[in-house]
C-alpha cells in the first residue's frame, strides 16, 4: 500500500495530473503511515531529480486552518534543493496542477536540532531569518484531501523562494511582527508572526520533536518554512505577488504562463 500510494503521488506530480484522495480506498491510513509514504515519495523525487534535502516546511500551523481541517496539530513536509526558486526568477505555471502561494518566514540553521527543544533553543540554533514565499500544489483532485492524504503528499510541498535580505533572530521581535501580503499592489491579507502558533519558533520546536521521534533532525544549513501567516492565494499568469514583514524586509515575485 505504501509503495503504491507513493508511486501514484510521484507520477501525479511528474505528469501534472490529479489523483483521488487515497483515504477513500485505504481508510486504514494513519498519520504515521502517511509520514512513511511521504518519506518514500521524497526518496523517489531525490533519485529522479538528482537532488537532496534542503530543509522542511510546516503546514496547518494556524488554529483557523486546523479547525477547517478538523485536526488539532500541524503537519510537516520536506523541501528539496530542486524546489528552490531564485528571488529574481519569474515563476512559470507550467509545472503545477493548481498552485497557490502563501507568505512564510524562513529560518536557516547553523546547528543540528534534535528534540526535545523549546523556542529559545530553536532561536539559538538559527543562523538567520528571511522573508519567504511558498508555492503549494496539492496533487489531489480539486485540492480536496484529508489530513493523512496531505501528509502523504509531502504536505503539498512544491516550490519556495527566500528573500536575499537576512536578519539575526535576536534582532527580530516575532511577537509584534506584522505582515502584509499583496497581489498586483493590492493588499489581500494582513497578519502577524504570532498567528503561527503564537510564535513561529514554537511551530519549529513542535516539528523538531516530531522528527526526533522518527529518527530525524534539522541539520546545519537546512531551511525551515515555519508556516503560512495567511491563507494561500491562487496563482495566475501576470500576477505580481509581494510580502512585507516588519523588521525583516520584503520579497516580490512575478508569475508567467
What is residue 72's predicted lDDT score, i.e. its pLDDT? 76
- Least confident range from 61-65, 81-85, 110-114: namely 61-65
Residue range 3-47, pLDDT digits in tens: 999 999 999 999 999 999 999 999 999 999 999 999 999 999 999
Q: Does residue 250 lie in a domain region? A: yes
Q: Which residues pair with 135 in a beta bridge?
A: 101, 159
What is residue 73's predicted lDDT score, i.e. its pLDDT? 81
Q: Which domain holds residue 213?
A: 53-138+156-256
Q: Does residue 245 lie in a domain region? A: yes
Q: Does residue 166 lie in a domain region? A: yes
Q: Does residue 147 lie in a domain region? A: no
Q: How confident is the model at residue 62 (pLDDT cuts 50, 70, 90)?
A: confident
Tell me: pLDDT of 63 over 90. no
Residue range 174-185, pLDDT digits in tens: 989 999 999 999
Q: Are strands 53-59 and 223-225 parallel, antiparallel or unpaired?
A: parallel
Q: Does residue 90 lie in a domain region? A: yes
Indicate which CATH number applies to the domain containing 70. Answer: 3.90.850.10
Q: Does residue 67 lie in a domain region? A: yes
What is residue 70's predicted lDDT score, i.e. its pLDDT? 66
C-alpha cell recorded at residue 57: 516546511
What is residue 222's predicted lDDT score, i.e. its pLDDT? 98
Q: Among residues of the chain, what percentage have pLDDT more than 90?
A: 93
pTM: 0.96
Q: What is the DSSP letter of 85?
A: -
Residue range 170-212, pLDDT digits in tens: 999 998 999 999 999 999 999 999 999 999 999 999 999 999 9
Q: Give 194's contacts (C-beta < 8 A, 6+ positions apart).
A: 174, 175, 177
Residue range 142-158, pLDDT digits in tens: 998 999 999 999 999 99
Q: Domain total for the chain?
A: 1
Q: Are strands 91-92 and 249-256 parallel, antiparallel or unpaired?
A: parallel
Q: Does residue 21 lie in a domain region? A: no
Residue range 108-151, pLDDT digits in tens: 999 999 999 999 999 999 999 999 999 999 999 999 899 999 99
Q: How confident is the model at residue 82 (pLDDT cuts 50, 70, 90)?
A: very high
Q: Does residue 207 lie in a domain region? A: yes
Query: How many whole angstroms separate alpha carbon 124 and alpha carbon 129?
Result: 12
Q: What is the DSSP letter of 100?
A: E
What is residue 238's predicted lDDT score, i.e. its pLDDT? 97
- Whole-number average pLDDT of the chain: 95
Residue range 39-49, pLDDT digits in tens: 999 999 999 99
Amino acid at each position: 500500500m505504501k509503495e503504491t500510494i507513493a508511486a501514484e503521488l510521484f507520477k501525479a506530480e511528474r505528469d501534472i495530473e490529479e489523483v483521488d484522495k487515497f483515504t477513500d480506498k485505504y481508510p486504514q491510513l494513519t498519520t504515521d503511515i502517511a509520514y512513511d509514504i511521504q518519506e518514500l515519495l521524497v526518496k523517489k523525487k531525490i533519485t529522479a531529480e538528482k537532488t537532496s534535502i534542503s530543509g522542511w516546511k510546516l503546514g496547518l500551523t494556524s488554529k483557523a486552518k486546523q479547525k477547517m481541517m478538523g485536526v488539532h496539530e500541524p503537519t510537516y513536509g520536506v523541501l528539496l534543493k530542486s524546489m528552490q526558486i531564485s528571488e529574481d526568477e519569474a515563476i512559470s505555471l507550467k509545472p503545477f496542477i493548481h498552485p497557490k502561494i502563501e507568505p512564510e518566514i524562513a529560518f536557516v540553521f547553523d546547528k543540528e536540532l534534535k528534540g526535545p527543544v523549546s523556542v529559545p533553543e530553536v532561536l539559538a540554533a538559527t543562523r538567520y531569518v528571511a522573508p519567504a514565499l511558498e508555492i503549494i500544489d496539492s496533487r489531489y483532485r480539486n485540492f480536496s484531501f484529508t489530513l493523512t492524504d496531505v501528509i502523504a503528499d509531502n504536505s503539498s510541498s512544491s516550490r519556495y523562494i527566500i528573500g536575499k535580505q537576512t536578519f539575526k533572530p535576536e534582532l527580530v521581535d516575532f511577537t509584534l511582527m506584522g505582515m502584509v501580503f499583496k497581489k498586483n499592489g493590492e493588499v489581500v491579507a494582513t497578519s502577524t508572526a504570532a498567528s503561527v502558533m503564537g510564535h513561529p519558533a514554537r511551530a519549529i520546536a513542535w516539528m523538531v520533536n516530531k522528527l526526533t521521534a522518527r529518527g530525524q533532525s534539522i541539520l546545519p544549513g537546512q531551511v525551515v518554512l515555519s508556516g503560512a501567516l495567511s491563507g494561500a492565494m491562487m496563482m495566475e499568469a501576470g500576477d505580481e505577488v509581494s510580502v512585507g514583514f516588519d523588521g525583516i524586509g520584503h520579497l516580490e515575485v512575478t508569475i508567467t504562463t
